[in-house]
Chain A
Amino acid sequence: MGPVLVEALRGVSLEIQSGEYISIMGPSGCGKSTMLNLLGCLDRPTTGHYLLGGEDVSRMTDDDLSTVRGTRLGFIFQSYNLIPQLSVVENIEVPLYYQDRPEEEAREIAIRLATLVGLEKRLWHKPFELSGGQQQRVAIARALVNDPLVILADEPTGNLDSTSGAEILKVFDDLHRQGKTVILITHDDDVAQRSSRTIRLRDGQVESDVRVSKSSA
C-alpha cells in the first residue's frame, strides 16, 4: 500500500452463508477489489474482523494467511493468471504443491479436474497454446483443486467473448448447484442475475444487498 492511507471500505458488515452464490457489483473505485482482497485473505483489514468458517483470519500471521488461501479459498482472476512456464496439469497442481500433497495424488486430482472442465485433450499444453476460454477453465480447475470453502472470482468473464463467457458462467452455476460458495465481482447485470444474492457497493459502503429467489436453471 502507498504511504497515504485510503479508506476503501468503511463500516461494511456482511454475513455470507455457505452455499450462497453472491455477485458484488458497483462502479470502479467503489472498493470491490479491496473487498475481494479482504475476502481472499490477500489483505488484512486495518480495523474490524473477518471470520472465515468461524475463525478470525483478520489478525493472522502472513504464513497462516497463506495456508488459509491455500486450503480454503479458490481464486479466479479476470486475466486468468496462469504460470506461463507450466503445463495445464502443473498449473492446476500449484495449490496442492504448497500444501505438500504427494505428487501422484496431486497429479491424479489435477487430471480429474482438467477432465471435468473439458480439457482432457490439452493436459500438457502450455497456457499460451490455449484460447482465453480454455485458460479460464484451467484457472477454474486450479481454484477447485484444494476443495475450497469459497470460490472468489474477479470478473471471470471480463476478457472473454460472449460464448466462452456463457460457458464459464455455466460452470459457476454447476458449482453453485453442487453446494459451493461462490463470490464473484462483475460489471455485467446478466452475470449478476444468475447469482442468488447481489451486493452493490458505492463509496466503500454497501448500497444494496438483494437476495434473489432463484428460479431453477
Chain B
Amino acid sequence: MSVPSRISANTSKEMLVLYRFFRGLKAARLKRIIRLGMKSLWLHRLRSLLTALGIVFGVCSVIAMLAIGEGASHEAQEQIKNLGSQNIILRSVKPSEERKVSENNRASYILQYGLTYADIKRIKSTIPGVSIVVPARIMREYAWNISRQTDCEIMGTVPWYPEMRNQRVAQGRFFTDREMDEKANVCVISSEMMQKLFPLQQALGSTVRVASEYYRVIGVMEPKSKGPKAEESTDSSKGAAAERMFIPLETAKTRYGEVLRKRRRGSFEAERVQLHEVTVKVASPDEVVNVSLAIKDLMERNHNKKDYDMVVPLELLKRAERTKQIFNIVLGSIAAISLLVGGIGIMNIMLASVTERTREIGIRRALGAKRRDIVTQFLVETIMLSGCGGILGVLLGITIPFLVSYFAGMVTIVTFWSPLIAFSISGLVGVIFGLYPAIRAANMDPVEALRHE
C-alpha cells in the first residue's frame, strides 16, 4: 500500500494508472469488462459502427493496396528474372539520324548498323568472366501452314538459347549442335504460334512454310508468363512478339544472308544487320556489373554510332526492388495517415462518451471502482472498437484483392504479414487514442462527477 503511493509522488499520474492497469488485469475480470464494453457500445450501435468504420477503411486500404502493389512488382520481377540475372543482353537498334538519311537517298542506300560477328569475337576474347555468348538474328516474315498464315518473328540462334533465357520446351525438343552444323531446316515454335497455325492438328512433325522454305517443327516452347508492360520494356522489336519461331543460326545465315529488304510505300529499303541480339552470360553474378561496363566500353570504341542497346537484367531487378521499396514507403505513410485519422475519430468519440457518461463514472467510483477500473473500462471499449474495425478491415482487405484479380485481371498477392501488421496497428491505435479519454475519465473527482447532469 505504501509502495505505490510513494511511486505516485515521483512519477506522473498517467504512468501510475497505466502500471496499475496492467498489474490489475485478471482473466475473469477481463471477461466481464469485455461484456460490459459490448453493452455500452451496443447502446450506441450506429455511433460505434461509424467510429469503427474509420479503422475498417484504413486497415482494408492498407492490405488491398499492398496486395496490388506486391502483385504488380512481383510480375515485373518475374519478367526480369526470365531474362536471366547473370545475363547481359545486347540488341541492335536502328540509329535515329540514319533513318532520315535513308529516306532522303531512297533506293540505292543500304542501311548498315547493329551488332556484328566481330563484336562477339571481341567480347569473347578480351573480357574475362564471360562464359557463354548467344547470338541471334531476328527476321519478321509470314509463316504458313498450307492456307493458315501468321505474322511471326523468326529467330536464328544457337542450341543453348532456351537455358540461357530461362525458357523451356513444352513439347518435343530444341535443335541440337548437329542440326546447327548441318544447317537443317528445323524449327521450334512458340505456343502462341502453335495455336494460330495448328489449332486442330499435331504441330510436332508438321511443316511450316516461310517464303519458299519448309521447316519441320521439332518442338514447342512453353508459354511465357504474361505481363504486357514488362514484355514491352525488354523486347527491342516494337511489334508483339508472341508468335515466335526459332531456327538454327547457321540455317538463318544461309537462307537470309545479311541484307534485309523491305518494300514500303513504293520506296525500297534495305538493311544490313549481322546480329540482332546477343546474350552474354557472366560466370558469376558478382561480376555482372563490371562485365557490363567493360562491354559498354568495348562497344563504344568500335561503334561510332549508337546502334545498339544494352539491357542488364540484374540492374533492372535492382531498380525494380528500389521502386518497390519506395512504393512500400509511400503506402506505409498513406496507411499511417489513414489509421491516424481513424484513431483521432475514435478518440473524439470516446472523449464525447466520457463526458456523456460522467455520472456513470461518478456512480461507479462511489460504489467502489478504483481509478484503474475506470481506465480499464474505457480503454477496453476503445480497443474493442478499433479491434472490431481491424478485423472487419482485414476481412474486407483480403476480399478486395480477390475481386480486383477477378474483375480487372490484375495479379494481386496478399502477403501473410500485411493483415497481421494492419491488425496490430489498429489495436495499437486503440490503445494510444483510448488512453487519454480513459485517463481523463479516471481522474474525475467522484463528487463532481456525481453532481454532473
**Which of A71, A99, A103 is close to B32, meaning CB atoms less than 8 Å apart?**
A103
* B408 lies within 8 A of chain A by Cβ: no
0/1 interface trace, chain A 56-73, chain B, CB 8 Å (1 if under) = 000001111011011100
**Which of A1, A75, A85, A146 is close to B39, meaning CB atoms less than 8 Å apart?**
A85
- Of B227-235, B362-370, B383-391, the one contacting chain A is B362-370
* A26 lies within 8 A of chain B by Cβ: no
* A197 lies within 8 A of chain B by Cβ: no
Task: Take A77-B450, A85-B40, A103-B32 as given contacts and tell me if A98 and B368 are in contact as well, using a CB distance cutoff of 8 Å.
Answer: yes
Cα–Cα distance between A142 and B372 once the two chains are bound (Å)? 22
Task: Take A63-B371, A85-B40, A98-B373 as given contacts and tell me if A40 and B366 are in contact as well, using a CB distance cutoff of 8 Å.
Answer: yes
Contacting residues, chain A, for B39 (C-beta < 8 A): 85-86
> Closest Cβ of chain A: how far from B450's Cβ, in Å?
7
Contacting residues, chain A, for B359 (C-beta < 8 A): 81
Q: Is the CB of A81 within 8 A of B363?
A: yes
Task: Take A85-B40, A86-B39 as given contacts and tell me if A64 and B367 are in contact as well, using a CB distance cutoff of 8 Å.
Answer: no
Residues of A within 8 A of B (CB-CB), count:
32
Q: Which residue of A lies closest to B26 (CB)?
A: A100
Contacting residues, chain B, for A63 (C-beta < 8 A): 4, 20, 370-372
* A97 lies within 8 A of chain B by Cβ: yes
Cα–Cα distance between A165 and B163 once the two chains are bound (Å)? 98
Task: Take A66-B368, A66-B370 as given contacts and tell me if A61 and B363 are in contact as well, using a CB distance cutoff of 8 Å.
Answer: no
* B177 lies within 8 A of chain A by Cβ: no
Q: Is the CB of A67 within 8 A of B366?
A: no
* B182 lies within 8 A of chain A by Cβ: no
* A166 lies within 8 A of chain B by Cβ: no
> Closest Cβ of chain B: how far from A157's Cβ, in Å?
19
Which residues 101-116 of A sit at the B interface, judged by CB distance below 8 A? 102-103
Contacting residues, chain A, for B373 (C-beta < 8 A): 66, 98
Q: Is the CB of B450 within 8 A of A42?
A: yes
Q: Is the CB of B366 within 8 A of A75?
A: yes
0/1 interface trace, chain A 32-70, chain B, CB 8 Å (1 if under) = 000001001011000000000000000001111011011
Q: Is the CB of A66 within 8 A of B29?
A: no
> Closest Cβ of chain B: how far from A79's Cβ, in Å?
9
Contacting residues, chain B, for A1 (C-beta < 8 A): 445
> Closest Cβ of chain B: how far from A71's Cβ, in Å?
7
* B46 lies within 8 A of chain A by Cβ: no
Cα–Cα distance between A75 and B363 once the two chains are bound (Å)? 9
Task: Take A42-B446, A61-B5, A64-B1 as given contacts and tell me if A83 and B369 are in contact as well, using a CB distance cutoff of 8 Å.
Answer: no
Q: Is the CB of A142 within 8 A of B26?
A: no
* A95 lies within 8 A of chain B by Cβ: yes
Contacting residues, chain A, for B341 (C-beta < 8 A): none
Q: Is the CB of B366 within 8 A of A69?
A: yes
Q: Is the CB of A67 within 8 A of B450?
A: no
Cα–Cα distance between A94 and B371 once the two chains are bound (Å)? 15
Cα–Cα distance between A164 and B363 once the two chains are bound (Å)? 23
> Closest Cβ of chain A: how far from B246's Cβ, in Å?
77
* B211 lies within 8 A of chain A by Cβ: no
Q: Is the CB of A98 within 8 A of B450?
A: no
Q: Is the CB of A66 within 8 A of B32?
A: no
* B420 lies within 8 A of chain A by Cβ: no
* B43 lies within 8 A of chain A by Cβ: yes
0/1 interface trace, chain B 34-57, chain A, CB 8 Å (1 if under) = 000001100100000000000000
Q: Is the CB of A66 within 8 A of B450?
A: no
* B101 lies within 8 A of chain A by Cβ: no
Residues on B facing A (Cβ under 8 Å): 1, 4-5, 8, 20, 26, 28-29, 32, 39-40, 43, 359-360, 362-373, 445-447, 450
List 28 interface pairs A-B (beta carbons < 8 Å), by A numbering: A1-B445, A40-B366, A42-B366, A42-B450, A43-B447, A62-B371, A63-B20, A66-B371, A69-B365, A69-B367, A70-B367, A70-B368, A70-B369, A75-B366, A75-B367, A81-B366, A81-B450, A82-B363, A84-B43, A94-B363, A94-B364, A95-B367, A98-B364, A98-B367, A98-B369, A99-B368, A103-B28, A146-B368
A-B CB proximity, top 8 nearest: A70-B368, A98-B368, A66-B370, A95-B367, A81-B363, A85-B43, A63-B370, A42-B446
